[in-house]
Amino acid sequence: MLILHLHHHEITTNRTSSLLIDLGEQKNIEIDFQAEDYDGTVSKSAYSIADIQDLGCLLGQQLSKSQQLTLYITPLCLQHIEAEYWIKWLSFGLALANYRYQHQPTETISTSITQYQLETSNTRWQQAFNEGKVLALSQLTARELINKPGNVLYPESFVSAVEQLALSGVTLSVLDDITMQEQGFGGLMGVSQGSNKAPRLLTLEYTPANPSCTVALVGKGVTFDSGGISLKQPSYMSTMKTDMAGAAAVVGAIQAISALQLPIHVLGLCGLVENMPSSQALKPGDVVTMLSGKSVEIIT
């Protein structure tokens, strides 16, 4: 049996909780608080990585007032998923459990995670637990960027938000609208014509010693997509602040890669632009010349 002792250093009460995790007949992740020998039990028919993440989140929400949390994971649960994976993804779910977006009128990212610590002398288990928290923190970074409204997060402030992260081992470089116009970024510059917010091309590069390979990540960064002249339907408009989620995912991924010091060279590209209607906006039928030299007709 895998026994995990978790301690929440920010809780001053002496409340403790115990949970048995076993195989059973339940199809969903639910905590049964009617158990005799434990404060709660979970008995799902099978567990996936996503289930373990959800379980960690559920623990963080429903047992959030416990200073000490002890988990008993039966051997049957470990037949198909190793202990390190259980620990990592439980940690991931726990860290994300109490995330709620709190609006701030600035681009500054707030990434506060649930502070449970694993009490163990097993270095592999501790590493797995820490990896889960790193991955959760990087996801929170992406979520914060995605959740910010378009009047707070636009191309220039997106860059500022990423700069404030001070990512270890990551080099940032930015092309402004003047440079992109000179170099022939016709597509990005064309989309930006209708907005008074200048576009940016943000590059994040992580270069460890002796990388095993090079990976390029490209994220769409339309900080608000009204549709331009071809306006989107009003019912869809309010969520168009999330059209930069691809760029946010790139930032989160590189944050995790650098924090975990993975042996890969990563280049992240975020094309940041706001698509708005105005007398200067692209019109259906207009033709723009891309950086590659290809000409493209705008249909909608």
Kindly tell me if the per-residue pLDDT of 112 is higher than 80.
no
DSSP string, the chain: -EEEEEEETT--S--EEEEEEEEEEESS---BTT-SSSSEEEEES---HHHHHHHHHHHHHHTTT-SEEEEEE-GGGGTTS-HHHHHHHHHHHHHHTT------SSS--------EEE--S-HHHHHHHHHHHHHHHHHHHHHHHHHS-TTT--HHHHHHHHHHH--TTEEEEEE-HHHHHHHT-HHHHHHHTT-SSPPEEEEEEE--SS-S-EEEEEEEEEEEE--TTSPPPHHHHGGGGGGGHHHHHHHHHHHHHHHTT-S-EEEEEEEEEEE--STTS--TT-EEE-TTS-EEE---
Q: How far apart (Å, rounded) are the C-alpha atoms in residues 84 and 112?
A: 24
Mean pLDDT value across the chain? 93
Residues 6+ apart with CB under 8 A from 88: 128, 129, 131, 132, 135
* Tokens standing for residue 52: 């373990």
**How many residues are present in the chain?**
300
pLDDT at 57: 92
pLDDT at 169: 94
Could you report the per-residue pLDDT of 258-291, keeping only the tens digit for each? 999 999 999 999 999 999 999 999 999 999 999 9
CB-based contact 109:66 (threshold 8 Å): no
- Complete domains list, the chain, with CATH: 2-147 (3.40.220), 155-297 (3.40.630.10)
CB-CB neighbours of 134 under 10 Å: 19
Q: What is the pTM of this model?
A: 0.92
Could you report the per-residue pLDDT of 123-139, keeping only the tens digit for each? 999 999 999 999 999 99
User: What is the pLDDT averaged over residues 208-235?
Assistant: 95
Q: Which of 15-19, 78-82, 187-191 has the highest mean pLDDT?
A: 187-191
Tokens 């705008």 locate to 298
pLDDT at 86: 96
Q: Which of the four pLDDT bands, split at 50, 70 and 90, describes residue 61? A: confident
With vertex at residue 269, the alpha carbon angle to CA 267 and CA 272, rounded to the nearest 5 degrees, is 160
Residues 6+ apart with CB under 8 A from 272: 154, 155, 158, 159, 199, 200, 201, 202, 221, 223, 244, 247
Could you report the per-residue pLDDT of 140-156, keeping only the tens digit for each? 999 999 999 999 999 99
